Structure 1
Amino acid sequence: MTSGVENSAATSSGSPRPLLPLIDTAGRLSIESGASDNRCCLKPPKARMADPLHLDNPIWYALKTKHQYLDCGLGLAVRYPNEISRFAGLGAPTPEAFADLAASLNPGATVSMFTAEPLDVPPEWTVVRTRELEQMLCMQCQPEERQVPVELGFQDVAEMLALVEATRPGPFLPATIIMGRYLGIRTPSGSLVAMAGERLQLPDYVEISAVCTDPAFRGRGYAKDILSALIKGIFAVGCTPFLHVKTDQGAKGLYEALGFRTRRIINLTVMTRP
């Protein structure tokens, strides 16, 4: 792995963040009267909202901004180190950009891209699969935590990988935790049974990913507790949470209940370098 990555900051703000929101006189987090159950309705501060069109090409903009220190691409292409993520991005899908991407990869390496439109892949590349995903933004949230999640770190990665293997929420690699803050819920005996965390980081936008719960512990609201804590933490630093979900995935109902709404369809393309 690239030298120095292991000690990189693991939060979008560059320093540890508390589980509860930070509320100050500068209006970093706006609070309005909530529903009849007297819960607060949290919203991101509109004044800091960056261009939402950056979310049409989120991997590119993440690696050109907040995650620039992780970029190991070349020229017109960006990508994460293999131990962190197989994500790659292009400013525009030109032959020159694909050539730069190929030059940054070993033959046979696989990468994944998020694009606004279906990707026109050069014929020498092999497309492994494509899928439409719904990109959802959380513009407000009524947080509902019955259990306070715990912070997860490198010492927890082996358990996190085992939970991902058992639940298949999407890619999570040995160093993915470098990308942002991860939270989990443990049983009284100490077993990790649910988790989620931050992945792509853009100015004013933070992606939530790896949402999963051990099948034996589903139906207890653990995912909602973790998501509520992550959303509050992201709002607290003046950012807006977003995520990607399969159009036919049952978890979409949970995300909508927490305040996420579909922004647009994003195209996932997984392909192999010649």
Structure 2
Amino acid sequence: MRNDHRYAGKFRIGREIEVNRLGYGGMQLTGKGVWGDAPDRENAKNVLRAALDAGVNFIDTADSYGPHTNETLIADALFPYPQDLLIATKGGFERTGPNQWRVNGNPEHIRQAIEGSLKRLKRDVIDLWQLHRIDSRFPVEETLGPVVDAVKAGKIRYVGLSEVDVEQIKLAEKTVPIVSIQNLYNLGNRQWENVLDYTIERGMAFIPWYPLASGPEKLKTKISGIAGRHNATTAQIALAWLLKRAPNILLIPGTSSLQHLEENMQGGNIQLSDEDFKALS
């Protein structure tokens, strides 16, 4: 199933670790409401292995997916890991049930989250650890204290943030270097345009979550016309648009289906013309 993803290209995280811009997000390999393990664990492992076969070397997960089950699944499926595989994880949420997400920026919680992720992923060092959300109950430098310690101890290589505005990024940068931002962003929702522009300026990776959303109905008509011309699906056009939007965008579409995985991967083989891109933008 290996594709050349010839239009996806590569990006260097922290200007050092080169990854293919078409990655994979593990969140869907859990139970309903991102709670509990993947209902079909063997299939989930096959999807992860197929992603690697297709050229993926950037996988995004979090300790809160399951919680904990997603990291364990990734290790069960892929350990010992290929040398060029970057696994990014996140901490800073507590889970109390399906679809329940509680922000916890308590430094003690963060410290435990980092140690737990290292164990479950069977890693001595997390290449990219991301703060899942900033907790307004704690100054961000306090929340990031254990992260700084882990970086100094060689347990975390790079640090990212999720769902933040430019001011929050600047504030965090006073405590620890930030190499990536993971915010909601897709064809239909571009509220974080200024954050994307900031990451471009700063050489940071921008990782849109929910990348496959195609947005309002009036956009869908446009997309289907363009998709028809490219002999592609709506989802593939949504991914191709993101890849063309900026060279620092890393995509992490998630799926529990081998067929969808293959379809998403093909999105890297579609090159939108400037006219197509303008029409969708």
Q: TM-score, normalised by structure 2?
A: 0.30
Higher relative contact order, chain-length normalized (CA < 8 Å, sep 6+): 1
Greater strand fraction, Structure 1 or Structure 2: 1
Specify which structure has the higher proportion of helix.
2
TM-score, normalised relative to structure 1: 0.31
